[in-house]
Structure 1
């Protein structure tokens, strides 16, 4: 059985709740604003390292930002 799991996220909501722009969050984690946009829309799945940096920057647990 071949099951494909898709990683979804709450990044846009959490970022907006903290009143952070995509550009500001991108600056905090060392990526481009476009990368943040692509993660929020599901076009790009972050690496484990980037996911951890996002969690640290937003002071959230992994499961608060990402889900299957």
Structure 2
């Protein structure tokens, strides 16, 4: 059973029991990703590191050609 099947079963059950419908799959994905990003920024500030540019700096370090 995939997510869509489970959602259909849940909406059917909710309609039969008079309960509120569940949110559609993926309806809150963007909000979850934003909260994860904000939490990581907050933890970086608490640790005394810059709150922005962590991923970009790591990629630049990794992709920069090494000079002998």
- TM-score, length of structure 2 as denominator length: 0.23
- TM-score, length of structure 1 as denominator length: 0.23
More helix by share: 2
More strand by share: 1
